[in-house]
Amino acid sequence: MRIAVLLRDHCQPKKCNAECRSYCPKVRTGVEAVVIGEGGKPVISEELCAGCGICVHKCPFEAIKIIGLPEELKSDLMHQYGLNGFRIYRLPVPKRGLVTGILGPNGIGKTTSIRLLSGEETPNFGSYESPPSREEVLSRLSGTELGDYLAKVYAGNVRTALKPQYVDKLPRVVKGVVRELLSKVAERMTVDQAAELLELEEIIDRPLDKLSGGELQRVAIAASLMKDADTYFFDEPSSYLDIYQRIRVARLIQQLAQEKQVVVIEHDLAILDFLADNAYLVYGSEGAYGVFAQPRQVRIAINTYLDGYMREENIRFRDTQIRFESHPPRDSQVTAHLLDYPRLECDFKEFKLSAEPGTIKVGESVGVVGPNAIGKTTFVKMLAGIQEPTAGKVDKSVKVSYKPQYIAPDFDGSVMELFMVTNHEFFRSGFFESEIAHPLMLKRLYEKNVNTLSGGELQRVAIAICLSREADMYLLDEPSAYLDSNQRMEAAKTVRRVMEKRGRSALIVDHDIYFLDMVSDSIMVFSGQPGKEGRANGPFDMRIGMNKFLREVDVTFRRDNDTNRPRINKPGSRLDREQKERGEYYYSDA
């Protein structure tokens, strides 16, 4: 085994005086494995470090990681960002006629791999101080599939198109209206054709800075599809999109792959399973290193990811398996009603929402599905007491805790201080530590300033804050946004476990079918005309509700034989036809 020592950004030498240097047994024996670098931060020598782990356990900020890397990866280091910096091992290779998926946690090198494959960055093979030239890179990769691909990229024979990850940042770098942006890249199709494919007609003459996240995502996807490239990279194309739009985009990407090379990074496992042909698993440690495993057929790749163990490589990258149940278990069949609400209406003149009478039971987790701009958030706000209905009344004696869809932190302090202000007694409890903080991996965030958190970090903190408040019902609007696949599964299990153990109820709005499948006991279904009129019905039994919803989406689901996870049937397949004939869109157990 080769020992790699990483010093993370959490290091705060002014608070501990870099005492990790004195912990090191190598220092005590006269050999300095730890030296003080710029800014007072220690730098650890990988050659001299014995990997004893003392400094890891002594560091109060969890800034140090010691990672055992398999020896066979020594020859596969593709890129490294400085001393003790992030490393990426191996790279995926695009295939013509196939959609190649990339699956792995956040901060593990997926986006970096796209920059290397597109030619935006050049692999340095660990020589970060004196990086090799492109000619030297090709010489080292000579005779490999990756080398042949990069040779075409560097020669200008492969044109690439990239749909970026953070589409919410587009208005900062691109000004003007949608039509102007798309007209600049109109090569494979016209602006009107792209607008029709991605339903952009109503926003085509709108400024970019006036668009929602879902609208920006569709504009970015349209801009990529319109370019006449050889290789297309789509970095998290489903973010901000509802299930209807995700299926539409997946089908467009599949059509594109029939004649082009396509690589997709995706955290929605149901969509990745539906659109990709094969997939590369990426494992490692967030912010430390990432390793691309050998490509697998997409079904096998996702099952391996959920299992947490790669049998061929004999590597376990997660301690526990992620499991799905055909019928989510309940500790007790509670039938007591928590909230009975009458018919509710909310009229904004340009948009009207009507919700049929419904009941939320004690201890019940209710999933909420439907298109974007159909009134789901408005309904949640009515239950939260933020939005007053124009017709009907909500029982305000039911105490609620609300996590909004868009999180805008207004707190100048650390995450720990935020938790203490919110509910210091619960924050110090063993229940919070074991049932919320540990599965959501919050400990490493405690010392960070709330205003510096990434989208995924802020989402996990917001979920924890919501669950920390004392309430009868917890309202969570799109809790899976910005989270990677593993974090989504852990967040779903966390919400469900907290509801079961505390006997509370929850209403969860989300577009990730896996997330909803894990967290929900029942389902509310929203339908209507987005942006104009919405109708809410339910809650229904999961099978009844999902059948109603998926019938409108026109997709059918089945259960995977090995993992029991939901899988989208291929359109027109035997199972798809048979389930539609029976009216069973949501994996019948018959």
Asked if residue 82 has pLDDT above 60, the reply is yes
The pLDDT, as a whole number, for residue 231 is 96
The pLDDT, as a whole number, for residue 364 is 92
> Are the C-beta atoms of residues 556 and 576 closer than 8 Å to each other?
yes
Tokens of 261: 């090379």
Q: Could you report the per-residue pLDDT of 318-371, keeping only the tens digit for each?
A: 777 888 876 544 544 557 899 999 999 999 988 999 999 999 999 999 999 999
Encode burial over 142-171: b for 16+ CB neighbours within 10 A, e otherwise.
Answer: eeeebeebbbebeeeebebbbbbbebeebe
The pLDDT, as a whole number, for residue 1 is 43
Share of the chain above pLDDT 90, in %: 65
The architecture in CATH of the region 2-69 reads 2-Layer Sandwich (3.30)
Tokens of 580: 């539609």
> Are the C-beta atoms of residues 450 and 415 closer than 8 Å to each other?
yes
Do 73-159+229-316 and 339-541 share a fold?
Answer: yes
Q: Could you report the per-residue pLDDT of 134-183, keeping only the tens digit for each?
A: 999 999 999 999 999 999 999 999 999 999 988 888 888 888 999 999 99
Residue 70 pLDDT class (50, 70, 90 cuts): very low
Mean pLDDT of 17-29: 72
Asked if residue 71 has pLDDT above 60, the reply is no
Asked if residue 115 has pLDDT above 50, the reply is yes
Q: Closest by alpha carbon to 485, among 317, 328, 368, 371?
A: 317
DSSP 295: P
DSSP 44-62: E-TTT-----HHHHH-TT-
- The answer for residues whose C-beta is within 8 angstroms of residue 358's C-beta and 6 or more apart is 340, 341, 524, 536, 537, 538, 539
The pLDDT, as a whole number, for residue 66 is 67
The pLDDT, as a whole number, for residue 349 is 86
Task: Quote the CA–CA distance of 463 and 480 in Å, as a whole number.
Answer: 10
DSSP 483-510: --HHHHHHHHHHHHHHHHHHT-EEEEE-
Please state which of the ranges 34-48, 246-260, 466-480 shows the lowest mean pLDDT. 34-48
Mean pLDDT of 461-479: 95
Q: Could you report the per-residue pLDDT of 222-271, keeping only the tens digit for each?
A: 999 999 999 999 999 998 999 999 999 999 999 999 999 999 999 999 99
Asked if residue 590 has pLDDT above 50, the reply is no
Pick among 3.40.50.720, 2.60.40.290, 2.40.50.140, 3.40.50.300: CATH of 73-159+229-316: 3.40.50.300
Share of the chain above pLDDT 70, in %: 92
Task: Quote the CA–CA distance of 159 and 499 in Å, as a whole number.
Answer: 51
What are the residue boundaries of the structural domains of the chain, listed by start? 2-69, 73-159+229-316, 339-541, 554-590
The pLDDT, as a whole number, for residue 6 is 58
Tokens of 249: 């985009």
Asked if residue 476 has pLDDT above 70, the reply is yes
Mean pLDDT of 544-571: 91
List the beta bridge partners of residue 264: 101, 234
Name the fold adopted by 339-541.
Answer: Rossmann fold (3.40.50)
The pLDDT, as a whole number, for residue 326 is 64
